[in-house]
Amino acid sequence: MADTQASLLLRKQLKDLTRRPVEGFSAGLVDDSNIFEWNVTIIGPPDTLYEGGFFNAIMSFPANYPNSPPSVRFTSEMWHPNVYPDGRVCISILHAPGDDPSGYELASERWSPVHTVETILLSIIAMLSSPNDESPANIDAAKQWRDARDEFKKKVSRIVRQSQEAF
């Protein structure tokens, strides 16, 4: 079967990341026969509640990548206002291109084909550094972030410890 534009681009991005790793995460294929499913490990960013944690996620790319965004889902436990309880990451650049039907995001904040695996993962690291509780994916985490910060910190500390033990 001939390689598609998407698979060629993903192979190039994987090769680039292998040759020049980026601090803060590692990425590779779930299965060498499928370029559209990636395993990633995000290292909790320094000077954040997530510092020192190792958080695993799966990136799933659509056949028409880069015209449509991948989905990213943490497989490690994650407690964050912008991560759904099932682990799916909710950040603007992973939302379909164009105008937001809800009117919360500008088209310029949403997916664009210029994004790469690297820019996506760096955006997720930035999300861990500064949660957005204005339009949360996890309402309970957002409420705790706003109203009971000490409890939020305790829960995240436990998740970080668990991620270190599992690593």
Helix (H, G, I), strand (E, B) or coil at 120: helix
Q: Which residues contact 39 (CB under 8 A, 6 or more apart)?
A: 27, 28, 29, 30, 56, 57, 58
Catalytic residues: 90
Residue with tokens 């949403």: 110
Query: CA 66, 44, 39: angle at the middle one, nearest 5?
Result: 40
